[in-house]
Amino acid sequence: MSVFFSRQCEYALQAAMYIALKPENEMTSIRELSMKLEIPYHFLAKILQDLTRKGLLTSLKGSAGGYMLARPKESITPFQIVEAIDGSSFLDSCLLGFPTCSKENPCAVHEDWNVLRDKLRDMLERTNIYEAGLSMKKPQYTWNKPS
Amino acid sequence: MSVFFSRQCEYALQAAMYIALKPENEMTSIRELSMKLEIPYHFLAKILQDLTRKGLLTSLKGSAGGYMLARPKESITPFQIVEAIDGSSFLDSCLLGFPTCSKENPCAVHEDWNVLRDKLRDMLERTNIYEAGLSMKKPQYTWNKPS
DNA sequence: CTAATATCAGATAGGTTTGTCCGATTTGGC
DNA sequence: GCCAAATCGGACAAACCTATCTGATATTAG
Amino acid at A136: M
DSSP letter, residue B73: G
* pLDDT at residue B138, rounded to an integer: 81
Give B18: exposed, middle or buried? Use CB within 10 Å, 0-12, 13-18, 19+. buried
CB A34 within 8 A of CB A41: yes
Distance in Å, residue B40 CA to nucleotide C19 C1': 7
CA distance B112 to B115: 5
Task: Please write the tens of the pLDDT for every residue from A85-105.
Answer: 999 999 999 999 998 899 998
Residues of chain B with pLDDT > 70, as a percent, come to 95
List C-alpha distances in Å: B103 to B94, B107, B112, B138: 11, 9, 12, 42
Is any atom of nucleic acid chain C found less than 7 Å from the CB of residue B72?
A: no
Task: Name the residue closest to C3, CA to C1'.
Answer: A63
* pLDDT at residue A144, rounded to an integer: 58
Distance in Å, residue A22 CA to nucleotide D13 C1': 47
Interface of A with B in 24-83 (CB under 8 A): 38, 78
A138 and B107 within 8 Å at the Cβ level: the answer is yes
Distance in Å, residue B61 CA to nucleotide D5 C1': 9
CB B15 within 8 A of CB A96: no
Residues of chain A with pLDDT > 70, as a percent, come to 95
Stretch B35-40: mean pLDDT: 97
Spans of chain A below 50 pLDDT? 146-147
What's the pTM value of the predicted model, to 2 decimals? 0.93
Task: Name the residue closest to C28, CA to C1'.
Answer: B63
